[in-house]
Amino acid sequence: MIRSHRTSTLLLIAATLAAALVAAGCGGSDGGSSGGSSGTEATAAEDWANGVCQAVTDWKGAVTEAGSALTSNPTEDGLRSAADDLESATTTLADDLDGLGKPDTESGQQAKEAVDQLASQLNAGAEKIKSAVDGASSASDLVAAASTVSSTLVTMGDQVSSTSQQLESLDSQGELSDAFTQSDACSGLTTTGS
């Protein structure tokens, strides 16, 4: 009976987290994350936009994969594995964001600072998720961890969207908007308006 209750609890947690993971991974944004070019020098606006969008796309894909893996393995080990995958994907995203130079636009420095702040916020979120899951040792702890993971993922998705909006508001000349519009890597992120 206790084993059955624990299994039911884990299935409920898995379903809740999978929904949160998929929601965090599939939200539409106008390109608020990072990519492959590194350094502190100014880069062409379109190259910078490509880097931002590619990094966000990779992160969203990893978040969705973690949700799918948890759905197919709704166990304590599955939860821990999903948390590890999320931490790894978020660390990669934050590193990519940190590695971006600033775009060669009038507001390039402010755009770089916004993206760097997002990297810090996402790293803090990943650490919060890891800590919550690592500290779980009972069924009630797992439920509490699931709640923390779910709310943190929603917050992380909001932070990505907020950074997108911040980048748009900085862009008085339209340089970044044009770069995001013309970037191939951003096309999948800008299909749903924000």
**Domains of the chain by residue range:** 2-24+44-182
Whole-number Cα distances in Å, 109 to 56, 101, 104: 20, 9, 9
Backbone angles phi, psi at 46, to 5 degrees: -70, -40
The helix-helix angle for 108-134 and 76-99 (nearest 10°) equals 160
pLDDT of res. 48: 87
pLDDT of res. 192: 41
Task: List, for residues 112-166, the tens digit of each pLDDT value.
Answer: 898 889 888 988 998 998 898 888 888 788 888 878 888 888 888 888 888 877 8
Dump the DSSP string for 3-53.
HHHHHHHHHHHHHHHHHHHHHHHH---S--S--S--SSSEE-HHHHHHHHH
Q: Is 104 helix (H, G, I), strand (E, B) or coil?
A: coil
pTM as predicted: 0.73
Other Cβ atoms less than 10 A from the Cβ of 36: the count is 14
What's the N-to-C CA distance of the chain in angstroms?
48
pLDDT of res. 189: 66
pLDDT-flagged residues of the chain (< 70): 1-43, 188-194
Tell me whether residue 78 is exposed, middle or buried, using C-beta atoms within 10 angstroms of its C-beta: 0 to 12, 13 to 18, 19 or more: buried
